[in-house]
Chain A
């Protein structure tokens, strides 16, 4: 019997010959990640265990990115727990403000995650690395603490679902639109405790940044992971980044899937997820006049250089609607610098937007763009739950950077063709 790419990675890291769905296994992890919200609990649990040294100071990654640069005293104290622990345990991959970026853009960029890896992160969007052909999934703080101790994690083997995308993408349609469409089709629990495998001719041609956007949102359909088989696009991305040998896994032709979805996406329009669930998806052109108070472009979903290039292309020489706040936050320092070099930052500021330091802040209602009662926001982020970005009386819509940039100009949700 054949196996999928995800199952092969699990088998290799569990040291088993075979696995089946719902089986409990213990795996060795290649990378264990925590941030300023989740790592403090993990560090406290680790200390309570009485174990003095982490299993491997090269395989642990700590990124203060959620409430960093520290938004208040209590956040500062949480960030300090990471800094102190990193120093005490000589954690090589600790990223202080200045080197820091949004973790799920930062780790691939720095070559910390490679194809074939098994990655756990105490952050639900750890599934982003599935785009590299790694098995990556979100876990809790106690899981992270356990990995600090012995480098292992328990898994219940998930079932496998395959998504095949055929046809040709229209102009302005991106990986973000594909994943919003997918979640709209299957619902926020459509892949609950399953691995999502994205494939087909459309994925084969999809640039790496778009692939990251897709895998990033696998969790919004309940997926444990969202994998794409590595190919020449993956190899080109990893070249000069990943400094170690890695193994590329592919799904067998006779691999077993619980379900296969196949869509021709040639007619797909830019998609928008409406309040208050990522599955409440409609084509941008069918939304009517949704007036906006704020537009946010960035995050671990869409804060990469190609996202900012698309936004700049639309915003160049234009002004954001009077009274609307446009907040743009590049995902990493490298992306920030590249945006400055290419003149993107200047375009954003001249258009009347702000260009922020990397942070998860606005996406989860942390800081740098909290919504007031009754306000409406269009964001390129990944969740639009009630109160997600601030007031429980606010409204969040999700889209691609192209739709977000076009909408910042008109002040209402707008198809980029209209600009």
Chain B
């Protein structure tokens, strides 16, 4: 799968309250959640973001609450992937379970806001088309690829329960 989009840069320790504030947790609709994505720290984000765009951030992305509404909001506003230095544990598993692609990259500071980036998910290759730079990240472990290929955790489990 190839993803191509414009980069929106965020800092370190972007927490789940930043991604989707608790007051919006009265909805489970990805589109509605998406319309408030990053509102606390970037009020115009959901208006600016275009389908396919990519979030690039520092360490510990998605720290805080277990709310699956966070990756849902990111998906819901049209973001196609998140690249960060590291991901918080629960955000990591939620993203796998709902099928939000994410990549761990050490030198995220080299990627600038507005850069055009292309990601080859299967190979774990990130190409910064604006800067003409290529990065190789670790591909997903087999177990996780299996969940993603089966269309998420519930489908994966259903096929095994049968």
Chain A residues with a Cβ under 8 A of chain B: 24, 37-38, 40-41, 44-45, 48-51, 66-67, 72, 74-75, 78, 121-124, 126, 137-143, 145-146, 149-150, 152, 154, 156, 158, 188-189, 192-193, 219, 222, 224, 277, 364-366, 383, 385-388, 392
B154 at the interface (CB under 8 A from A): yes
A50, A74, A142: the one contacting B97 at CB < 8 Å is A142
Asked if B68 CB lies within 8 Å of chain A CBs, one says: yes
Q: A75-B26, A189-B86, A193-B89 are in contact. List 10 more A-B contacts (CB 8 A).
A: A44-B28, A78-B26, A122-B68, A139-B93, A141-B68, A154-B153, A189-B63, A219-B64, A365-B23, A387-B40
Central interface residue in B68, B143, B161, by most chain A CB within 10 Å: B68
Min distance, Cβ B120 to any Cβ of chain A, angstroms: 23
Cβ A142 vs Cβ B22 within 8 A: no
A366/B65 in contact, CB under 8 A: no
Nearest A-chain residue to B141, judged by Cβ: A24
Interface: B31 (CB within 8 A): no
Inter-chain contact total with CB atoms closer than 8 Å: 141
- With an 8 Å Cβ cutoff, the count of chain B residues facing the other chain is 42
Q: Nearest-CB distance from A123 to chain B (Å)? A: 5
Of the stretches B10-18, B47-55, B107-115, the one at the interface is: B10-18
Q: Which residues of A contact B40 (CB under 8 A)?
A: 386-387, 392
23 A-B residue pairs with Cβ-Cβ distance under 8 Å, sorted by A, are: A24-B141, A24-B143, A41-B69, A50-B158, A138-B66, A139-B93, A141-B68, A142-B98, A149-B154, A149-B157, A154-B143, A154-B153, A188-B60, A189-B59, A189-B86, A192-B86, A364-B17, A366-B23, A383-B15, A385-B17, A386-B18, A386-B40, A392-B40
Bound Cα distance A51, B65 (Å):
28
Residues of A within 8 A of B89 (CB): 137-138, 158, 192-193, 222, 224
Task: Assess the B161–A142 pair: CB atoms within 8 A.
Answer: no
How far apart sit A31 and B160, CA to CA, in the bound complex (Å)? 22
A142–B152 touching, CB < 8 Å: yes
B41 within 8 Å of A (CB atoms)? yes
Q: Is the CB of A139 within 8 A of B90?
A: yes
Is the beta-carbon distance between A140 and B157 smaller than 8 angstroms?
no
> What 3 A-B pairs are tightest by C-beta distance, nearest first?
A140-B94, A74-B26, A142-B97
B interface residue numbers (CB < 8 A to A): 13, 15, 17-18, 21-23, 25-28, 40-41, 59-60, 63-69, 86, 88-90, 92-94, 97-98, 141, 143-144, 147, 152-154, 157-158, 160-161
Answer whether A386 and B25 are a contact pair too, CB < 8 Å, given A139-B66, A222-B60.
no
Closest Cβ of chain A to B159, distance in Å, is 11
- What is the CA–CA distance of A66 and B25 in the complex, to the nearest angstrom? 10
Known contacts A67-B26, A146-B157, A222-B60; is-contact A140 B97 (Cβ 8 Å):
yes
**Smallest distance from the beta carbon of B39 to chain A beta carbons, Å?**
8
Residues of A close to B25: CB separation below 8 A: 37, 66-67
Q: Which residue of B lies closest to A365 (CB)?
A: B22
Q: Select A146's contact among B26, B28, B92, B154, beta carbons within 8 Å.
A: B154
Query: Smallest Cβ distance from A157 to chain B, in angstroms?
Result: 12
- Determine how close the nearest CB of chain A comes to the CB of B10; give it in whole angstroms: 13
CA distance in complex: A249, B62 (Å): 32
Q: Is A193 a contact partner of B158 (Cβ separation < 8 A)?
A: no
